Chains A and B, each alone.
Chain A
Amino acid sequence: MNIKEKLKFLHDNPVVAWHEHFWSTGDFTTLNTVQGDDMMQVFDALGIDKVVTSLPVNKIKRCDPEVFVSANNVTYEAVKRYPGRVYGMAYAHPGYASAAVAEIERCVKELGFVGVKLYYDYFMDDPVYAPIIEKCIELDIPILQHSMHFMDAPNKIRQPLATDGVHMANAAKRYPEATFVMGHFTIAEWKYSLNAIADCPNVYTDMSGSVYDRPQMEMAVEMLGADRILFGTDNSPSSCVGKILGARISDEDKKTILSGRAFSRFLERTVK
Chain B
Amino acid sequence: MFIDINTYVGHWPFRKLSFNTLKELDILAREYDITHMVVANLNGLFYKDANEANYELLEELKSYNGKTEFIPLAIVNPTYPAWERNARKMIELGFCGFELAPIYHGYSLAPEMFFDMYNPIHRAGKVMELAEELGVPVRVCAGFENFRGRSDLDTPKSLSADDYVALISKYENVPVLATGFSMLAAGGKLSELVKARKNIFFDTTTTATLDPKLCARVKDNIPEEQICFGSLSPFNYMETNLLRISLSGLDEESIKANGARAFKNL
Interface residue ranges, A against B (CB under 8 Å): 1-4, 6-7, 38, 41-42, 45-46, 148-153, 155, 187-191, 210-215, 217-218, 236-239, 241-243, 245-247
26 A/B residue pairs, CB under 8 Å, sorted by A = A4-B246, A46-B210, A46-B243, A149-B149, A151-B149, A151-B152, A152-B147, A152-B156, A187-B148, A187-B149, A191-B15, A212-B236, A212-B240, A213-B236, A213-B237, A214-B17, A214-B18, A214-B233, A237-B210, A238-B244, A241-B243, A242-B237, A242-B239, A242-B242, A245-B239, A246-B239
A246 touches B240 (CB 8 A): yes
Within 8 A of A (CB), among B3-29: 15, 17-19
Q: With an 8 A cutoff between CB atoms, is B235 at the interface?
A: yes
Closest chain A residue, CB of each to CB of B28: A246
Q: B146 near A: Cβ within 8 Å?
A: yes
Which single member of B148, B152, B241 contacts A242 (CB below 8 Å)? B241
Cα-based distance from A238 to B208 in the complex (angstroms): 7
Q: Is B247's CB within 8 Å of the partner chain A? A: yes
How long is the Cα–Cα vector from A236 to B241 in the complex, in angstroms? 12
CA gap between A214 and B209 in the complex, in Å: 20
Q: Are A215 and B18 in contact (CB under 8 A)?
A: yes
Chain B nearest CB, measured from A246 CB (Å): 3
A-B contact count (CB 8 A): 105
Contact present for B244 and A188 (CB under 8 Å): no
B31 sits at the interface (CB 8 A): yes
Task: Give the most central of A150, A217, A237, A247: most B CB within 10 Å.
Answer: A237
Q: How far is the CA of A246 from the CA of B240 in the complex (A)?
A: 8
Could you tell me if B211 and A42 are in contact, using CB atoms closer than 8 angstroms? yes
Instruction: Say whether B240 contacts A242, CB under 8 Å.
Output: yes
The CA of A152 and the CA of B157, in the complex, are separated in Å by 10
Q: Which residue on B lies nearest to A242, using beta carbons? A: B240
B side interface size, CB within 8 A: 36
Q: A151-B149, A217-B237 are in contact. List 16 more A-B contacts (CB 8 A).
A: A3-B239, A7-B243, A38-B211, A151-B148, A151-B150, A151-B151, A155-B148, A187-B149, A212-B236, A212-B240, A213-B145, A214-B235, A215-B18, A238-B247, A239-B208, A242-B240
Alpha-carbon gap, A150 to B148, bound state (A): 6
Q: How far is the CA of A256 from the CA of B247 in the complex (A)?
A: 25
Tell me which residues across on chain A come within 8 A of B152, comparing CB atoms.
151
B242 touches A153 (CB 8 A): no
Known: A190-B149, A211-B149. A238 touches B209 (CB 8 A): yes
A188 touches which of B148, B237, B243, B246 (Cβ 8 Å): B148
Q: Are A152 and B32 in touch, CB under 8 angstroms?
A: no
User: Are B240 and A148 in contact, with the CB atoms below 8 A?
Assistant: no
Q: Which residues of B contact A210 (CB under 8 A)?
A: 146, 208
Q: How far is B244's CA from A243's CA once the two chains are assembled, in angstroms? A: 13
Contact of A148 with B148 in the complex, beta carbons under 8 Å: yes
Q: Which of A1, A215, A243 contacts B240 (CB 8 A)?
A: A243
Interface residues of B in 210-266 (CB under 8 A from A): 210-213, 233-244, 246-247
Which residues of B does A touch, CB under 8 Å?
Answer: 15, 17-19, 31-33, 145-152, 156, 208-213, 233-244, 246-247
Which chain B residue lies CB-closest to A245?
B239
Are B243 and A152 in contact, CB atoms less than 8 angstroms apart? Answer: no
Chain B hits for A214, CB < 8 A: 17-19, 233-237
Decide if A6 touches B239 in the complex (CB within 8 Å).
yes
Minimum distance in angstroms from A189 CB to a CB of chain B = 5
Partner of A1 from the list B18, B32, B236, B237 (CB cut-off 8 Å) is B32
B237 touches A236 (CB 8 A): no
Chain A contacts for B242, CB-based, 8 A: 3, 242
Q: How many Å from the CB of B85 to the closest CB on chain A?
A: 36
Closest to A239 in B: B240
Q: Please pick, from A2, A42, A153, A189, the residue contacting B149 in the complex, using a CB distance under 8 A.
A: A189
Most buried by A among B146, B148, B211: B148
How far, in Å, is A245 (CB) from chain B's closest CB? 4
* In the complex, chain A residues whose CB is within 8 Å of the CB of B15: 191
Residue of A1, A46, A210, A242 most packed against chain B (CB within 10 A):
A242
Q: Report the bound CA distance from A210 to B182 in whole Å.
A: 13
CA distance A242 to B209 in the complex (A): 13
Quote the shortest CB–CB distance from A47 to chain B (angstroms): 11
CA–CA, A174 and B236, complex, Å: 36
- Would B234 and A238 count as touching, CB distance under 8 A? no
B248 to chain A, nearest CB (A): 9
* A8 smallest CB distance to B (angstroms): 13
Shortest C-beta distance, B245 to chain A (Å), equals 9
The CA of A42 and the CA of B237, in the complex, are separated in Å by 20
Chain A residues, Cβ within 8 Å of B239: 3, 6, 241-243, 245-246
Q: Give the most central of A210, A239, A243: most B CB within 10 Å.
A: A239
Q: Quick one: given A1-B32, A42-B211, A214-B234, are A152 and B240 in contact (CB under 8 Å)? A: no
Residue of A nearest to B148 (CB): A188
CB neighbours (8 Å) of B235 from chain A are 213-214
